[in-house]
Structure 1
């Protein structure tokens, strides 16, 4: 047996010992998760021939990632997002179902208890940006309306910041509303613009080190819920956006790219008087629970 064979046997022997250490785990799912993670982590280290210095750097990076987390910032979710893991998990948990609307990343800026607006209301609440008139419907996969569906919407302002990123406790550019008896909805929001994910922490350092941009494609968040239907978390993206498929968290899907039509004159919906605004239509299809 060569020295390489001896080394390989030792390495695999350690993997086997660690995997067997979970034999007494009473929760079968937890046991499967731990065994699989151990196998894959060891396989990556062995394939890369990871050095002790690289291992130290990895531990330091993960430590800084944890230290960057606060009540309003989750750096580990950000890390999951930029590695595409968030989208992978979302895709696995929201498999295709007929013509149901595709899901995408939840993002770190959703807040429970957003204000209620009536149909045709304004969810901007003073946030800066170009007004956008959003209309659409909520239906099931058979084309039947889903009356009363709850629609949560939130987005960044024209400076690329969500309300929770300000220090004055404002509530802006977020709201919830309900579809009418025909499953239809309408509201005023803001024309989405590109913005960077938080990149002043360890995840930003990693992106810079590998030459990746922190920019997200322009988008408007939706979360739609109704009894007997699968919860939908999704965005709509702006057709022709300058970031597009280079979205830092891999959230863009072809079916979610929508045309935003710009208007520079003429009357605006709900009697608004604005010099420039856009409109977009988003017809939502919910999958059964």
Structure 2
């Protein structure tokens, strides 16, 4: 059968008929149908298709051990958040994007330690509990935390300025599911714009900024892990996150505290910012 505009999709889908992995066959078939429908709809010129291939090639070439441009592309197209939302659960804390900077292993730290190794920003304490949907504490839950500094840069972006592991920590909740750590209040920041994704944003007139936030991946035995953020209330761009990750339930006050007793107990000086953020994990099988 001749390969024509009308027969193209069926021919390619049929070529995957002997794929043993049923899910892979389903994914490839659906991808083919949607991609072919897109091409038939927009009717790209040969030059436009070559530009598209060059763009994707450049995205791949920009990836390395500390930079994931394909994740960034997925983020700015809203695909990352769409996948997270589809795979989320109503029984736990809302999930958000992983982001492109979870590229190194967070160092293990004790509860109360500081993840700020420079000591140059506004002092901050983040505390909360890891709980089940019915409020039962999850002792020993693992919390992987990472954030930018007060200038809006992650450690991997400034290897000559920030020591490895700055802004990162791996914690274990105590016997009552509580966690707390010291840090600095993060800044809003632009996603990297020195690559093809940045050029895409520029061509479409979109800003590259993310509101201030701290990343979490939280795990506990018998429960679904969650990848999420705590967003700094009133941060610039809280209503126009470049990667569409803000959810109202994750916006948290980083309130100024002048409580001397709290400051002494937490190992900071007054005044300091204090963010309280409880994390709820859904049981396995609830998705």
Q: Same fold (TM over 0.5)?
A: yes
Structure 1 residue 127 displacement after superposition? 5.6
- 1:230 & 1:150 partners in 2: Cα distance? 12
Gaps of 5+ in 2: none
In structure 2, which of residues 269, 272, 279 is the aligned counterpart of residue 277 of structure 1? Answer: 272
Equivalent residue pairs, number: 279
- 2:280 & 2:158 partners in 1: Cα distance? 34
Q: Is 2:156 aligned against 1:164?
A: yes
In structure 2, which of residues 130, 146, 158 is the aligned counterpart of residue 154 of structure 1? Answer: 146
CA contact 1:128–1:157 (8 Å) conserved in 2: no
> Which deviations, in whole Å up to 9, do the C-alpha atoms of 1:209-249 show, x marking residues without a partner?
00111111110011111110111110000111111121111
CA contact 1:155–1:162 (8 Å) conserved in 2: yes
> Which deviations, in whole Å up to 9, do the C-alpha atoms of 1:187-210 show, x marking residues without a partner?
111212101111100000000000
Structure 1 residue 111 displacement after superposition? 4.6
Q: Is 2:236 aligned against 1:242?
A: yes
Aligned counterparts, 1:98-247, within 5 A:
100-111=92-103, 113-126=105-118, 128-168=120-160, 170-247=164-241
CA contact 1:127–1:157 (8 Å) conserved in 2: no
Moved more, 85-94 or 278-287: 85-94
Q: Is 2:250 aligned against 1:256?
A: yes
Gaps of 5+ in 1: 1-8
Q: Summarize the Cα distance change of 1:120–1:152 in structure 2 as closer, same or farther, 3 Å threshold.
A: same
CA contact 1:127–1:172 (8 Å) conserved in 2: no
Match of 1:74? 68
CA contact 1:261–1:279 (8 Å) conserved in 2: yes
Query: For the aligned residues, what is the CA RMSD?
Result: 1.8
> Which deviations, in whole Å up to 9, do the C-alpha atoms of 1:73-98 show, x marking residues without a partner?
1111110011011111111222322x
Structure 1 residue 260 displacement after superposition? 1.2
Q: Summarize the Cα distance change of 1:65–1:195 in structure 2 as closer, same or farther, 3 Å threshold.
A: same
CA contact 1:18–1:38 (8 Å) conserved in 2: yes
Q: Summarize the Cα distance change of 1:137–1:275 in structure 2 as closer, same or farther, 3 Å threshold.
A: closer
TM-score by length of 1: 0.91
